[in-house]
Structure 1
């Protein structure tokens, strides 16, 4: 990826940032399946990008919603930094085709939501390390402010919504179980299963157990509501 590469120039135009240190951009787009070849990967940058994104979005929320209580702000924050939102931003930037994989991962490609989310966070960290917090803030603001405009009311907590649904039908409390943990020690990925008696189970991944529980609960609630939409 040379500095005169037209593909790189097009990517930087989409990102709204020209890298002084192109190695950061390369790392942010390199999957761990290539790291064994001594090329490094996006994992360490993703670790930093998760924190930078959380800081910037939290600050945006305090400014945009000055009268909301902490609980509402937390629900907004969780929705804005979850995997699905990050993957959506990554797809808007057409990042899937930019990710470099090892041969064993090429078939999966760049449409895996978890990978897209990780790369998006890694790019935020890369911009931060390349040009500082102001540059990272410019990138995040441009992509996340429209998401704030789309959600004027705090998103509903998925676990609470699922519990209300099951209790209203005499099904008892949903049951949550951690079924797997993967990834490096500094950035584990949790897989959680939620089950409802008589309605099976749903699984989801997250960088924190609570995040995985919320995503699994949301998946389960959407399925149950669809199955019973005519009630």
Structure 2
């Protein structure tokens, strides 16, 4: 049975389509047009109480029972647990996956997201203030990631759900006004991931 992926063409949505492809799980996309406010529909609220995409419905959840999950980080951890892939079993190996997944959720997402917001503003004064503040923090976070990837292929040892989470936002680096050439380790990591056939399928999946 296919997992339902309720989503739209956003960085957070791409995290999940990439993970599903990499894990070899069958899924079907159910577009939620956030530009038209479809995320506020009562039916979507039942599976995503925060009215945010993405959310999934797994008809074959724990105990063979249907389950719905919202929040991209929770979805990635669930899928890793379900498949036993991209989420190490030993606790010591899981810790860096948790750390870098939380790093993405708490910073490398919210901060670039603010850049997206302020770039679109028409008021030049507000726009200039916002971009000065959030672009600086976004570049700082790229620097953190670049240092982490120095001498590493992936952020937490082997390829993991943390990489999928971060990739969803690194994919939007042109909108962040970030040249990956300024962060050579991130550039190498990004190009390595994007060359993977399953990751490419997840990035090319029609989500809208």
- The normalised TM-score by structure 2 is 0.26
Of structures 1 and 2, the larger Rg is shown by 1
Q: TM-score, normalised by structure 1?
A: 0.24
